[in-house]
Amino acid sequence: MADLTGKKVLALASQGLEQIELTSPREALEGAGATVTLASPDGKEFQGMEGDWEKKDFFTPELKVSEAKAEDYDALLLPGGTLNADAMRLNKDARALVRAFLDAEKPVAAICHAPWLLIDSGVVEGRTLTSYESVAPDLQNAGANWVDQEVAIDGTLVTSRNPGDLEAFNAAIIEKLA
């Protein structure tokens, strides 16, 4: 496994987060030595979910999305969850962060419904991406080439379909960050 000691990753999440899509990558990144900081739109505690229906754990972010700066981190993690992804795509600071990370050629990793934020950030046209299957038409309508595979890597952008792909997603993030 790659040594990510000293690497800092920013994760954006809010109410309705698909919990395993945050906890699994965070554990993998921290296990490789990286530090993961959690930011939410309002900086307040929120509850994760399993499959959009079953309530899971509470998470307390370290900062608000508006307080985060791309230059302070080495990568951006965007977990899914329908409600979380829908809230994030409407957040102007989250959209600005996505663009700033990609402009700086830093890894951005999005899974499941999180590519909605990529669409609304204006960064998918001409890129090859994957996502949860219901997001595929949105990506295609925004000019992306959608593929049905565990992980799609396009430059510094890493995307994945769903929690069943987390092992491959986590490995791709770590490789991209190393």
Q: What residues are annotated to the active site? A: 112-113
SS3 101: helix
Q: What distance, in Å, lies between the first and last C-alpha atoms of the chain?
A: 10
Helices (H), the chain: 20-31, 82-89, 92-103, 115-120, 136-141, 166-177
Indicate the burial class of 66 (C-beta count within 10 angstroms; 0-12, 13-18, 19 or more): middle
* Nearest alpha carbon to residue 154 among 122, 114, 125: 125
Bridge partners, 47 (sequence order): 58
